[in-house]
Amino acid sequence: MTDIDKLAQRYPQKRVLITGATSGLGESLAMIFAAANFRVAVASRTPAKVAATCEKVEKAGGSPLAITLDVNRLEDFDAAAKQVEEAWGGLDILINNAGILTSGKVVDIGLEEWLGSPPDVQPSPVGCEDPVVPVAHVSPDFSNPAVLSVPKTGLGVQYNRV
């Protein structure tokens, strides 16, 4: 039994949402889940790229759900959650793959830019307003999926000058 088969067995409704799903690792993960006949919510900022990846998911054997989502916009997370709930009745696996690219030395980049968030938004892994932030985790070999709860007050960033 493959690792993806183990996930399918553990989550028989086979519902996964992947942020940053239109390129790189996110798109590769979408194709892996699609080939295992998962329902794949393809989430990314660019609607045309989301549509193109949804076509690939369908051709690979999955059932796609197109979601336009910018990880810098809290309201996008609320809309995505509502869309998944309406379409599938819930979600089994969330893969927070989207990232924001900033380059330079940590000491030269302000904390706001480094975190990639506007000043009025408290950064969190999934943009939740609740006091507890659910963080999805799947081990690299897909053998140990889990959802962790991390209090927002426990989230922080520490860096040292080099």
Domain of 11 in residue numbering reads as 3-152
Whether 159 is in a domain gets the answer: no
Q: Residue 157 falls within a domain, yes or no?
A: no
CATH value at residue 18: 3.40.50.720
In a domain, 120, yes or no: yes
* Domain assignment of residue 158, yes or no: no
Q: Which long-range contacts (CB under 8 A, 24 or more apart) does 47-56 make?
A: 49/22, 49/23, 50/21, 50/22, 52/22, 53/21, 53/22, 53/27, 56/27, 56/30, 56/31
Q: Is residue 56 part of a domain?
A: yes
Number of structural domains the chain divides into: 1
**Per-residue model confidence as pLDDT tens digits over 72-118:** 788 898 899 999 999 999 999 988 888 665 566 656 666 666 555 44
The model's pTM is 0.67
- 146 belongs to a structural domain: yes
